[in-house]
Amino acid sequence: MTLRRKICFIIIFIIFIIFLSLGYFFINRRVQEDRLFADVSEISNFNYIENYTFPASSVTKRYLDVEKNIEQYLKSFSKQASKVILYGEDAKLSGLLSIDNYLADGPDFLDSISYIEKRKSDFEQDMDSLLLYFAKSYVRQYISNCNLSSYYKKLFNRAMFDEGIYDNLVALKENFLDSSSYINQIYQGSLDVLEFLSSHSSDWKIEGEEIQFSTEELVNQYTDLVSKIK
């Protein structure tokens, strides 16, 4: 074989290897993308508040990093949502308007009022943090900060906004806004009752298991304030 033929053979072989490599690259990319979005489709059907287990991943390498970043975002949301939900299960709060607490902390209710104000402030901060997860700008910023190349960030963006995850997430927002309104109503209503009792400290007393006021007008005002909490 002449030198020229050897060189041509080598060049053809190199070109063949390059095309083979490129073919494998693009085929593998398509396979990985299809597998990624198959996993995303399953994730998009989750209830992001309840406990759930992410499916075993069917992708590798950087595609797996995309999935892990999606999982981390949803887990962070779930953790913050659980934190907010616990405010509605505050047993101490529900006992502040009880006869026992009236006797223990009245007539000024300094500890009770301080407790409610602190819890109310904490709740509002945690709710604000939770509501960020529903904002497209926050999701995009999260994606932008991920340690991924532009190609994989685009996949992350598509997974969140075009494959149902974001829509499923946002569907929960209204429930949290309703809960926020309800819990803030309880906080403010409880404060109103205790501040009313504190400002009329000489006009009420506890007899047996009931609170008694010096006038019918005060009874009506107290009853009206308590009714707003229900």
pLDDT for res 41: 85
Which tens digit of pLDDT belongs to each residue from 175-217? 999 999 999 999 999 999 999 999 999 999 999 889 999 999 9
Q: Please compute the mean of the pLDDT values over residues 209-226 and round it to a whole number.
A: 95
pLDDT for res 26: 46
Which tens digit of pLDDT belongs to each residue from 11-20? 554 554 554 3
Asked if pLDDT for residue 37 goes beyond 50, the answer is yes
Asked if pLDDT for residue 112 goes beyond 70, the answer is yes
Name the residue ranges covered by the structural domains of the chain. 3-227
User: Distances from the Cα of 6 to the Cαs of 14, 20, 141, in angstroms?
Assistant: 12, 21, 55
In terms of Cα–Cα distance, which of 214, 192, 194 is closest to 202?
214
In degrees, rounded to 5, the angle at the alpha carbon of residue 105 between the alpha carbons of residues 212 and 183 is: 90
pLDDT for res 40: 82
- Widest pairwise Cα distance in the chain: 119
The CA distance from 193 to 199, in Å, is 10
The CA distance from 166 to 135, in Å, is 9
Asked whether the beta carbons of 57 and 64 are under 8 A apart, the reply is: yes
Query: What confidence category does residue 57 fall into, taking pLDDT thresholds of 50, 70 and 90?
Result: confident
- Across the chain, mean pLDDT equals 86
Q: Please compute the mean of the pLDDT values over residues 64-68 and round it to a whole number.
A: 90
Query: What confidence category does residue 50 fall into, taking pLDDT thresholds of 50, 70 and 90?
Result: confident
Query: What confidence category does residue 221 fall into, taking pLDDT thresholds of 50, 70 and 90?
Result: very high
Percent of the chain at pLDDT exceeding 70: 83
The CA distance from 164 to 158, in Å, is 9
Neighbour count for residue 146 (Cβ, 10 Å): 17
Percent of the chain at pLDDT exceeding 90: 67
pLDDT for res 2: 66
Tokens standing for residue 3? 């030198």
pLDDT for res 208: 87
Neighbour count for residue 50 (Cβ, 10 Å): 9
Which tens digit of pLDDT belongs to each residue from 119-151? 999 999 999 999 999 999 999 999 999 999 999
User: Distances from the Cα of 214 to the Cαs of 20, 44, 217, in angstroms?
Assistant: 94, 60, 9
Of residues 87 and 45, more confidence is placed in 87
pLDDT for res 3: 56
Terminal C-alpha separation, the chain: 96
Neighbour count for residue 44 (Cβ, 10 Å): 19
